[in-house]
Chains A and B, each alone.
Chain A
Amino acid sequence: MAVQLDARPPVAPAPGTTRPSRGARLSRFDTRYSPYLYIAPFFLLFGVFGVYPLAYTFWVSLHDWDLLGVEHPYVGFDNYRQLLADPDFWHSVVNTLGIFVISTVPQLLLALWLANLLNRQLRARTTWRMAVLIPNVTSTAAVAIVFAVLFGRDFGMVNWLLDHVGVEAVDWKANRFASWVAISAMVDWRWTGYNALIFLAAMQAIPRDLYESAAIDGAGRARQFWSITVPLLKPTIIFAVIISTIGGLQLFTEPRLFNSGTNAIRGGPLRESQTVTMYMFENAFAPHYNFGYGSAIAWLLFALIAVVAAVNVLLLRRLGGGARKEEIR
């Protein structure tokens, strides 16, 4: 800010000139334009690495674009038309949404519960809090490979354990629902702790006296949790849901590495666990190398994420309708 800090008396303007001094002009320029300069790097980078690829992808999606070909004839919205009538695409959408629902819902509930536990008086509190983040620090690829082995049909530990309790071996990779469950387990293992820490941070901002007065009024722990903690956490929950939606609908590494061997990108012989991003990869790259079609899938995925995120926010807003008043009070 242009605040004059030195205490010298103002200098009288030179006679015959009304133009503001060089310094004053500079400082006005500084006040007006500098902020834009300061935020410019982000937008420049976003433009280069965000907007440009997005626009380019759209441009590609309007062409019949063989990845290696020289000619890329313009086909308009043909790729989109074809895609909307492609049962394999919709199959992958259902897979993605299915895996998203059975991973995100328990994940967020579990994170909430975990955060609530961590918010109590514990010995070595920081250690516990950091410990829940460890799964998130491990590499996705390593996690996926370990889980893929755990969920193996013949040599997997999960089936071995199931066998001990008398349950027949499950072919985790060749059964649609079972593969969803296995992949969701991976996602949950990795992200529950991360969300718990976010919830915990928000919980610590809730004034203690609310709980104290609630306790005086005779509210138990559970009641306090549902009537104070959860409503006041609503904005954070919305944030976590949006982040999980974006991550969940873009799921790639876990299901890709869960399936191994020939043509793993397909997610099983009947596409049991193929997500939209995997379908996009299958079309844009091996074995089809149809870059235009793959780009169209990318754009529809973008639209899908926007829609699902919006629906989530609307739902949560409505659920939170009653609580918002409390928040204001």
Chain B
Amino acid sequence: MVTFTRRRLAAVALVATTALLGATACGGGDDEAAAGGPVTLTVDVFGQFGYEELYKEYMAGHPDVKIVERGTGSNLDEYSPKLTQWLAAGKGAGDIVAIEEGLLVEYKANPQNFVNLLDHGAADLKGNFLDWKWNQGLTADGKQLIGLGTDVGGMAMCYRKDLFAKAGLPTDREAVSKLWPTWADYIRVGEQFKAKNTGASFLDAATNTFNTILLQTAGNTTGYSYYDTSDKLVVDSNPAVRQAYDTTMDIIDSGLSGRYGSWSEEWVSAFKQSKFATIACPAWMTGVIEGNAGAGAKGNWDIAQVPGNGGNWGGSFLAVPKQGRHQAEAIELAKFLTSAKGQIGAFKAKGPLPSSPQALADPAIVESTNAYFSAAPVGKIFAEGAKSLKPVYMGPKNQAVRTEVENAVRTVELGKRSPEQGWTDAVENAKKAAAK
């Protein structure tokens, strides 16, 4: 064995001390602002928010601000536990964080984690947002504004023209929209498609379609889905839920689903290998489709109207956590990103539909087309219905409950449960999840 000489010991001690000091120094935080250097603002997002160009523009106008975005492309399941941990730990969250509407209800229950934007002049911005979008960002007592709205999830149906042609169906978007005024028609078209054996399924996954139908049905009838407006769990008594479930069962029963678990690697592969012909697409999904299917499929995709009548799935908010060091700068940036101009920029980059009426009316949106989707007039398709979107109320444990119901749909889709067993599971597990 090597004996430790004094010098060597000293060296080891030095290394150890430096390591320890280094570790503590990490907690020390940055004093860039004090030093006169630029302030670094971190923006945490998931999926595709399309802010890159906006950052560049903002930084050009604010030389003292540097913007770093984290989490682009990550899915909500990866993002939300991280955000919650950061908030719980009081450290680690970005200066601005994106929050999806389904999760906002949980964060709203603990508003002390966020800056009250009403204290920073946000009240003047009320007119820049659709009323319900603005109200969603407020706490129950209306005294604190947690987040400023980014996008809303106006609904359409994206489809593959090449596969439709192969199955002898019309490919023109007007004609396709006429094929399916209702979900029953959608199933009928699906059966025609299936009969032609194109080697592809009619749709990607029943869970996606289920969400679309549920939020559409709920928006058109009760205005709430799993929870009623007094936060009582109504998964088994809300007719909208049961109706959406039954329609989805019909789709599964007709064997139209490719059974690719949404957001899984197989789902992404299925996009690349053209394994399904349609996917329910909220506006933000167009960015996801382009990302997954890749440049090779450009021009094969197109967008038609969604069966049923409109609907709204998803949409996010930007919030400023209280733990941030540069709150004032962060609030300014959040205001910029959610301004009509910011929302138009994001829409052009990645397709999330604005929640600002000014942006929705802007020619830049109304007249916009999407080259990837065969130059579909996305502005017209999505923006037209956006102003009349009916919001769906979401209760405190919405995400956990939704997960259980989606899972039940998935078990039926995979043939592991009968539709009735699946429903029993959904209700039972949803109750359990809500109680946790």
Contacts and interface: CB of A to CB of B under 8 A. Distances in A.
Interface of A: 66-70, 145, 148-149, 152-155, 171, 173-174, 259-266, 269-270, 281, 283, 285-291, 293
Contact of A270 (B265, B406, B416): B416
Interface in B381-421: 397, 399-400, 403, 406-408, 410-411, 414, 416
Contacts of B265: 145, 148-149, 152, 260-261
B261 A68 contact: no
Contacts of A264: 77, 264
Nearest to A149: B265
A287 B399 contact: yes
Contact of B113 (A68, A149, A263): A68
A-B pairs, top 4 by smallest CB distance, nearest first, are A261-B264, A286-B81, A285-B81, A287-B400
Interface string B101-112: 000001101101
A260 B264 contact: yes
A266 B262 CA distance: 14
Q: Counting chain A CB atoms within 10 Å of each CB, which of B75, B87, B411, B436 scores highest?
A: B436
B164 interface: no
B159 interface: no
Contact of B407 (A152, A154, A266): A266
Contact of A269 (B77, B113, B267, B416): B416
B52 interface: no
27 contacts: A68-B87, A68-B107, A68-B113, A69-B109, A70-B110, A149-B265, A152-B266, A155-B273, A174-B414, A260-B265, A261-B261, A261-B263, A261-B264, A261-B265, A262-B263, A263-B406, A269-B410, A269-B411, A269-B414, A281-B81, A286-B80, A286-B81, A286-B399, A287-B403, A288-B436, A289-B84, A290-B436
Contacts of B109: 68-69
A288 B85 contact: no
Contacts of A263: 77, 403, 406-407
Given A67-B84, A285-B85, A270 B403 contact: no
B270 A154 contact: yes
B116 to A, nearest CB: 16
Interface of A is mostly: loop
B266 A270 contact: no
A70 B112 contact: yes
A281 to B, nearest CB: 8
Interface residues of B, number: 40
B433 A269 contact: no
B18 interface: no
Nearest to B401: A287
Contact of A171 (B275, B408, B414): B414
Nearest to B417: A270
B110 A68 contact: yes
A67 B400 CA distance: 15
B1 to A, nearest CB: 15
B411 A262 contact: no
Interface string B240-279: 0000000000000000000011111111011001010000
Contacts of A155: 266, 269, 273
B275 A154 contact: yes
A261 B84 contact: no
Interface string B93-129: 0000000000000110110110000000000000000
Interface in B196-245: 207
Nearest to A264: B77
B436 A286 contact: no
Nearest to A155: B269
Given A68-B106, A174-B414, A287-B400, A260 B263 contact: yes
Given A69-B110, A262-B207, A293-B436, A174 B267 contact: no
B33 interface: no
Contacts of A173: 261
Contacts of B85: 67, 285
Given A145-B265, A261-B261, A266-B407, 14 more contacts: A67-B88, A68-B87, A68-B110, A68-B113, A69-B110, A154-B275, A155-B269, A155-B273, A173-B261, A262-B262, A269-B407, A269-B416, A281-B81, A289-B106
